[in-house]
Amino acid sequence: MDESGDESRRLLKRRRVNGNTRAEESRYSSPDELAASSDHEANYARRASSSNHRELLEHRRRSYNKSDSDESPDELDHTVHTFYRGSKGTSRSESRSPLSRGTSTPTPRSRTPLEFKQTYTGYRQKLVLKGHRKGVAAVKFSPDGKCIASCSADATIRIWDTASGKHQYTLEGHLAGISTIAWSPDSKTLASGSDDKSIRLWDVSTGKPYPVPLLGHHNYIYTLAFSPKGNMLVSGSYDEAVFLWDVRTARVMRSLPAHSDPVGGVDFIRDGTLTVSCAGDGLIRIWDTATGQCLRTLVHEDNAPVTSVRFSPNGKFVLAWTLDSCVRLWNYIEGRCVKTYQGHKNEKFSVTGAFGVYGGGQQAFIVSGSEDGAIVVWDVSSKNMLQRLEGHQSVVLGVDTLPSQDLFVSGGLDRTVRVWEAVDGEYLETKEEPSEDIG
């Protein structure tokens, strides 16, 4: 009892973003930061800096230089070949950004709600992987789908075979618990961030660390992400900083004065031109990777601490987890929260999840961990809860998906890693929402 209590308290300290702090006006000076004040938020949402808006649009033009269309932003939620931009069989016109034509906001196309059937391929537990001596903070599939990596408060990383669940390696070298891991795009390198304030890179084929760790943060490292080309790494820390690293030289390329509370999540957009970060100050920030300029600050009226964040697969949206038991989908170009997903519990820990697909690849879902030990799955478009999976005996901190094999993996404070597989679908009656109502 004492051991489990100590472990839970330690992970709470390490994974929790401090308090439900509301930003004070005196803390912020830039126009972006004024958005953190409820007095300024409404005006800020309507009149974001025009230069930053143009910068964001220019990024989208460079990334998605496609033909014109009247497709509304909400429509990407209804077809995965659009949501998962770049998949085989995707036409150029289907995968462009809705704002790639210029600075004007496209007029949503009005549609009558239609009744249709979605086939949700439910999931069931396939494997339970044991070996960690303390809680599992994060789990990740390798990009090639062959391996699963898990990291733990026991200061180790374990590599598992995806198909069989067989343990392959234990990576040891950190001097304290590990909160975050990230795979390089070629699946050859794994990055890990630890409470020992270091980031290590590992050769997955040998299980050995690279000789030079990445040093620069002054406190616990909470979150990591590789750039799409694998030449950069972004990190977020309890020291409130976001660092961009040159992977080849193991040196900091740029330090971003990101937040006024510990940084809980970071991610790269699919083309690497933008970076997103979030923190306990309730802010989500979009950064120009090349210049380090803050292009947009997102803040919800509730100003709940934001513990995890990621870009949607097509790069048009940002998904954020907050300590008010909500997951929110943001249109970051417009600065609007367009969807809110509820049904899980998230009030203390840094819980995260991922995007996935179902219905023969025609629909998208969001899956998340929960502090009540469940895994919750929602339809992206309708916000309906599709499934609630039980199995873990404590908080589920991390979930990752492998859409190509209809798998996802989870890890939590019960020290287990669990692999879930798709089963025969069940039918859910849903209504397609009008495109005007995307809140």
Rounded-to-integer distance, Cα 108 and Cα 403, Å: 30
Q: What is the DSSP letter of 259?
A: -
3-state secondary structure of 238: coil
- Number of residues in the chain: 439
Rounded-to-integer distance, Cα 156 and Cα 151, Å: 6
Smallest CA-to-CA distance from 292 within 332, 213, 234 is with 234
Which stretches of the chain drop beneath a pLDDT of 50? 1, 3, 8-51, 53-54, 57-117, 425-439
Residue 361: what pLDDT? 81
Residue 424: what pLDDT? 67
Rounded-to-integer distance, Cα 234 and Cα 219, Å: 15
Amino acid residing at 431: K
Residue 5: what pLDDT? 53
- Tell me the pTM: 0.76
Rounded-to-integer distance, Cα 131 and Cα 117, Å: 42
In 214-246, which positions are buried (b, 16+ CB within 10 angstroms) versus exposed (e)?
Answer: bebbeebbbbbbbbeebebbbbbbbbbbbbbbe
Q: Is residue 424 exposed (0-12), middle (13-18) or buried (19+ Cβ within 10 Å)? A: exposed
Which string of DSSP letters, residue by residue, matches 321-370?
A: EETTTEEEEEETTTTEEEEEE-SS--SSS---EEEEEETTTTEEEEEEE-
Residues 6+ apart with CB under 8 A from 86: 95, 270, 314
DSSP E strand stretches across 280-332: 283-288, 294-299, 306-311, 318-322, 326-331
Rounded-to-integer distance, Cα 439 and Cα 425, Å: 28
Map tokens 């537990």 to a residue.
125
Rounded-to-integer distance, Cα 23 and Cα 312, Å: 27
Map tokens 């803040």 to a residue.
299
pLDDT digit string (tens) for 358-399?
988 889 999 999 999 999 999 999 999 999 999 999 999 999
Amino acid residing at 186: D
Residue 398: what pLDDT? 97
* Strands of the 123-129 sheet, one edge to the other: 123-129, 417-422, 407-412, 396-402
Q: Which two tokens stand for residue 93?
A: 């016109």
Rounded-to-integer distance, Cα 419 and Cα 129, Å: 8
Smallest CA-to-CA distance from 44 within 57, 28, 59, 60 is with 28
295: left (phi over 0), alpha (psi -120 to 50) or beta: alpha
Q: What is the DSSP letter of 436?
A: T
Q: Which two tokens stand for residue 302?
A: 């509730």
Smallest CA-to-CA distance from 271 within 290, 298, 251, 246 is with 290
Residues 6+ apart with CB under 8 A from 319: 309, 310, 311, 312, 327, 328, 329, 330, 355, 366
Q: What is the DSSP letter of 34?
A: G
Cα 427–chain centre separation? 28
